[in-house]
């Protein structure tokens, strides 16, 4: 105890400088989460009053008894799984392509084309995608019509709406994941590949046993980040489908938002808390698995 | 010294007379947009003649945000002085907060109110509390693009068969003459809860039916022959008839308005509050006719629908409650009502000057067409919102996956609604 206090006192200037930032982080980062969790234990009608009525786990019981929430949760998991695989896979492919010596000249242009959507305001991008998918005047169906292919149902049927959102989100996010893969590829130890080459390893063997293991940090970061991103999918739904058609894209974040909008604060924050726990749980599990692998 | 004191006292009296009386500001939250802001500005100027120094400041929020803000403000004792919206929205506020004042005693003090009908007051009452003072009747008629009718050689449709024929021509005969197949018979909506019901209500009431889903006695009406006929045609309009834009299943109010104002939908709902904007040169430039909703059977009668009542409500924790009550009473005076008609296109008084309004606004203001009111089930059955949400989901699932025959679907829907209503009643 004395030692700890002595250490703190010894580094007092450092702690003095850190203190305001730590306080701000707690105030604006942690406190809203704590408040949100607290609201999830209150009766909606009293949730925002100075002395709310606490109802224990009643809101949690209500949402888990709601088939629409359970369906929404399942839908969110399915979409997240598909979106993570597609985004990380696509970004990896593009990073490898850009890293290729064959693409030295066009690499910058391709990198720019892939990264521009990341810095484009998401709402603006999704509004354009919505127009592209429109069955009456959208460019996608105009193109399909020109080449004599059948029309794409876009946002008007459940399965195609899911695919449409996935493509729009791929456009918006893949550039970021690609950048992380590309950075990891750039700092890899090329001497190992040369050594493997000298030892007679084929191109495939060099990729599989020398390069891929070095890309593990990028895979872990991208997978965790993508999981967090897609479990919380919201903006694309608000702009493009509003949860439709017929609830087909009503993910947990949007469902919670709808309840919040109806003043059902208790249930809405209970849903948000469940999602928060899932995101934290999944992220920590993947990090721990990654760490365990690295320690082997 | 005495002389100086007298001078100072006289100067004090003169100064006090010259100073304005203590300034007070009343705040109103509504969702009427620019027209609403202008209306409250005009009323503020009129009210200041009676109550010098009082300013009425209004803030308009998109409807979704209005709900959230009002609920949180009332629950945290940071309420505005007044809130203004449709009766059913104020009901939801009361349900979530329990802090909307009972205005019965206040309306009792108003002498000039003969223009308010029994129905108007019934709508304004929820669980024995008068939660709004009715200020504007919400009328909704059936609108058709005039130039399109001329182009396809048709007249304003009186019956549903007429409407279907016209819709087909609007879709197939290039009524806007741009050489593209980009027009639709109807501009409708089906994305959000209530969107679908709202439009179905208009078709049902417009042909003289009194209830869409449930009657005041609690009987489900969905599969009664006349109701079922309207419902089946309504569902086919979204599906097999192909009279609407293919993306309509994702269209809410915003997108529906884009179809109307973008010149792609030929027949649509016209609310009294829409006319002023659509008369504008850059919107529809007055190129539309407003009339009664089409009737579905020869022995029925067509109507313009009174789709609700907008009114003023006072939170129990309003900061300037007494002054807010004065202003709420003032909103029924002729000057305030005239400002309402001129700026928003609706009022409750019948003695207002309509000469300066466009023919389409006059159609509503004069109320010459037969009017039929919504049945306002929210005010009768507390469980109605939950029942309605389930009904909407069922209909939407049908539109998303249309059955070959709608009759069994309607029968099944009615059965499910009966079971749910019984369950909700027993709660």
d(CA A177, CA A195): 29
Write down the mean pLDDT value for chain A: 91
- Distance between B6 CA and the closest CA of chain A, angstroms: 54
What percentage of residues in chain B have a pLDDT greater than 90?
65
Q: Which residues of B touch A248 (CB under 8 A)?
A: 400
Contact B76 A50 (CB under 8 A): yes
Q: Which two tokens stand for residue B350?
A: 């019948």
Write down the mean pLDDT value for chain B: 90
Backbone angles phi, psi at B75, to 5 degrees: -80, -15
B178 CB near a chain A CB, below 8 Å?
no
Q: Work out whether strand B288-291 and strand B133-145 pair parallel, antiparallel, or are unpaired.
A: antiparallel
> Which helix (H) or strand (E) element contains residue B61?
none
Name the one residue in this structure whose structure tokens are 């100064």. B15
Q: At what angle do helices A158-186 and A67-99 cross, to 10 degrees?
A: 40
Q: Which residue of A has its CA nearest to B71?
A: A263
On the question of pLDDT at B6 being above 70, the answer is no
Q: Which of B48, B39, B115 is nearest to B339 (CA)?
A: B39
Q: Which residues of A touch B96 (CB under 8 A)?
A: 44-45, 263
d(CA B46, CA B33): 20
On the question of pLDDT at B260 being above 90, the answer is yes
CB pairs under 8 A between A and B: 72
Burial class (CB in 10 A: 0-12, 13-18, 19+), B328: buried
B75 CB near a chain A CB, below 8 Å?
yes
Q: Which two tokens stand for residue B386?
A: 């939950």
- DSSP class of B350: S
Query: What are the distances in angstroms from CA A147 to CA A10, A60, A150, A183?
Result: 74, 52, 9, 39
Rg of the Cα trace of chain A? Answer: 24
d(CA B101, CA B324): 11
d(CA B303, CA B292): 5
Query: Buried (b) or exposed (e) across B145-159, using 16+ Cβ within 10 A?
Result: bebbbebbebebbeb
Contact B252 A242 (CB under 8 A): yes
d(CA B7, CA B9): 5
pLDDT in tens, B179-215: 988 999 999 999 876 778 888 999 999 999 999 999 9
Which pLDDT score is estimated for B149?
Answer: 97
What ipTM was reported for this prediction? 0.76
Which pLDDT score is estimated for B15?
Answer: 45
Which pLDDT score is estimated for B193?
Answer: 67
Contact B250 A137 (CB under 8 A): no
d(CA A232, CA B10): 71
DSSP lists the bridge partners of residue B312 as B84, B133
Chain B interface disruption, residue of A42, A129, A240, A263, most B CBs within 10 A: A263
Q: Which residues of B touch A50 (CB under 8 A)?
A: 76-77
Query: What are the distances in angstroms from CA A219 to CA A119, A213, A214?
Result: 22, 10, 10
Which pLDDT score is estimated for B378?
Answer: 77
Contact B97 A155 (CB under 8 A): no
Facing A156 at nearest CB: one of B67, B246, B393: B246
Contact A263 B98 (CB under 8 A): no
pLDDT lower than 70: segments of chain A? 1-2, 293-296
d(CA B346, CA B337): 8
Query: What are the distances in angstroms from CA A200 to CA A101, A196, A205, A212, B416?
Result: 21, 6, 9, 18, 71
- Distance between B190 CA and the closest CA of chain A, angstroms: 9
pLDDT in tens, B39-97: 999 999 999 999 999 999 999 998 878 988 898 889 888 899 999 999 888 988 998 88
Residues sharing a CB contact under 8 Å with residue B14, sequence separation 6 or more, in sequence order: none
Q: Which residue of B has its CA nearest to A133?
A: B247
- DSSP class of B178: S
- Distance between B99 CA and the closest CA of chain A, angstroms: 10
Query: What are the distances in angstroms from CA B248 to CA A56, A73, B389?
Result: 42, 26, 19
Q: Which residues of A touch B385 (CB under 8 A)?
A: none
Q: Which residues of B touch A260 (CB under 8 A)?
A: 68
pLDDT in tens, B115-148: 988 878 887 888 889 999 999 988 999 999 999 9
pLDDT in tens, B369-416: 898 888 778 778 888 888 998 999 899 999 999 999 999 999 999 999
Which pLDDT score is estimated for A294?
Answer: 62
At B27, is the secondary structure helix, strand, or coil? strand
On the question of pLDDT at B259 being above 70, the answer is yes
Facing B249 at nearest CB: one of A44, A46, A156: A156
Which pLDDT score is estimated for A71?
Answer: 96
Chain A interface disruption, residue of B64, B178, B249, most A CBs within 10 A: B249
Contact B400 A48 (CB under 8 A): no
Rg of the Cα trace of chain B? Answer: 25
Q: Which residues of B touch A135 (CB under 8 A)?
A: 245-247
CB-side neighbour CA atoms (13 Å) of B307: 24
Q: Which residue of B has its CA nearest to A240?
A: B250
Q: What is the pTM for the complete model shown?
A: 0.81
Q: Which residue of A has its CA nearest to B184?
A: A136
d(CA A2, CA B260): 76
d(CA B306, CA B301): 15
Which pLDDT score is estimated for B17?
Answer: 43
Name the least confident of A83-97, B227-241, B323-337, B380-394. Answer: B380-394
Q: B123 near B309, Cβ under 8 Å?
A: yes
At B193, is the secondary structure helix, strand, or coil? coil
d(CA A44, CA B46): 40
On the question of pLDDT at B8 being above 60, the answer is no
pLDDT in tens, A181-221: 999 999 999 999 999 999 999 989 999 999 999 999 999 99
B399 CB near a chain A CB, below 8 Å?
yes
On the question of pLDDT at B20 being above 80, the answer is no
Put residue B27 in one of left, alpha, beta given phi > 0 → left and psi -120 to 50 → alpha: beta
Which pLDDT score is estimated for B18?
Answer: 44
């Amino acid at each position: 105890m004395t030692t700890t206090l002595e250490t703190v006192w010894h580094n007092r200037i450092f702690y003095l400088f850190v203190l305001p930032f730590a306080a701000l982080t707690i105030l604006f980062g942690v406190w809203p989460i704590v408040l949100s969790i607290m609201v999830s234990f209150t009766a909606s009608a009293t949730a925002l009053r100075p002395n709310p009525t606490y109802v224990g786990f009643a809101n949690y019981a209500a949402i888990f008894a709601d088939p629409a929430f359970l369906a929404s949760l399942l839908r969110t998991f399915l979409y997240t799984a598909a979106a993570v695989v597609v985004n990380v896979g696509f970004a990896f492919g593009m990073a490898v392509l850009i890293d290729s010596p064959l693409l030295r000249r066009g690499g910058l242009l391709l990198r720019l084309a892939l990264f521009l959507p990341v810095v484009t305001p998401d709402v603006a991008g999704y509004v354009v995608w919505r127009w592209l998918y429109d069955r009456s005047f959208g460019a996608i169906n105009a193109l399909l019509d020109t080449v004599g292919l059948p029309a794409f149902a876009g946002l008007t049927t459940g399965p195609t709406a899911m695919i449409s959102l996935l493509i729009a989100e791929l456009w918006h996010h893949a550039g970021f994941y690609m950048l992380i893969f590309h950075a990891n590829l750039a700092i890899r130890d090329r001497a190992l590949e040369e050594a493997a080459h000298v030892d007679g390893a084929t191109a495939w063997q060099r990729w599989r046993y020398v390069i891929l293991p070095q890309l593990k940090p990028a895979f872990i970061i991208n997978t965790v980040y993508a999981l967090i991103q897609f479990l919380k999918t919201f903006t694309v739904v608000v702009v493009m489908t509003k949860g439709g058609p017929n609830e087909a894209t009503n993910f947990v974040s949007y469902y919670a938002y709808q309840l919040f909008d109806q003043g059902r604060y208790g249930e809405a924050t209970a849903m948000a808390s469940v999602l928060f726990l899932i995101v934290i749980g999944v992220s920590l599990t993947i990090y721990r698995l990654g760490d365990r692998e690295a320690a082997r | 010294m005495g002389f100086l004191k007298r001078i100072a006292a006289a100067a004090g009296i003169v100064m006090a007379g010259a100073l304005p009386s203590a300034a007070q500001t009343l705040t109103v939250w509504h969702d009427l947009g620019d027209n609403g802001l202008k209306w409250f500005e005009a009323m503020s100027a009129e009210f200041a003649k009676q109550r010098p120094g009082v300013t009425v400041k209004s803030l308009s929020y998109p409807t979704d945000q209005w709900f959230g803000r009002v609920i949180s403000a009332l629950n945290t004792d940071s309420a505005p002085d007044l809130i203004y919206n449709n009766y059913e929205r104020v009901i939801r506020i009361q349900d979530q907060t329990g802090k909307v004042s009972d205005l019965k005693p206040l309306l009792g003090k108003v002498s000039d109110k003969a223009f308010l009908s029994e129905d108007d007051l019934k709508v304004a009452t929820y669980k024995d509390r008068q939660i709004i003072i009715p200020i504007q009747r919400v009328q909704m008629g059936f609108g058709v693009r005039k130039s399109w009718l001329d182009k396809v050689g048709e007249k304003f449709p009186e019956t549903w068969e007429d409407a279907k024929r016209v819709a087909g021509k609007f879709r197939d005969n290039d009524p806007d003459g741009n050489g593209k197949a980009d027009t639709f018979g109807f501009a409708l909506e089906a994305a959000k809860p209530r969107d679908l019901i709202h439009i179905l209500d208009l078709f049902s009431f417009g042909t003289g039916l009194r209830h869409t889903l449930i009657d005041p006695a609690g009987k489900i009406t969905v599969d009664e022959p006349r109701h079922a006929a309207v419902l089946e045609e309504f569902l086919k309009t979204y599906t097999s008839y192909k009279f609407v834009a293919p993306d309509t299943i994702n269209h809410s109010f915003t997108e529906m308005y884009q179809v109307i104002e973008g010149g792609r939908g030929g027949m649509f709902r016209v609310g009294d509050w829409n006319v002023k904007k659509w008369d504008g040169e850059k919107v529809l430039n007055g190129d539309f006719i407003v009339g009664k909703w089409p009737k579905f059977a020869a022995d029925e009668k067509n109507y313009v629908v009174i789709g609700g009542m907008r009114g003023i409500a006072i939170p129990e924790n309003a900061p300037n409650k007494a002054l807010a009550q004065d202003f709420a009473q003032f909103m029924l005076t002729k000057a305030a009502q005239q400002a309402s008609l001129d700026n928003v296109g609706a009022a409750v008084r019948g003695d207002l000057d309509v000469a300066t309004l466009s023919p389409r606004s006059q159609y509503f203001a004069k109320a010459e067409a037969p009017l039929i009111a919504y049945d306002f089930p929210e005010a009768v059955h507390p469980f109605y919102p939950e029942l309605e949400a389930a009904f909407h989901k069922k209909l939407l699932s049908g539109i998303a996956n249309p059955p070959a025959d709608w009759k069994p679907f309607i029968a099944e829907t009615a059965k499910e609604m009966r079971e749910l209503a019984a369950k909700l009643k027993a709660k």
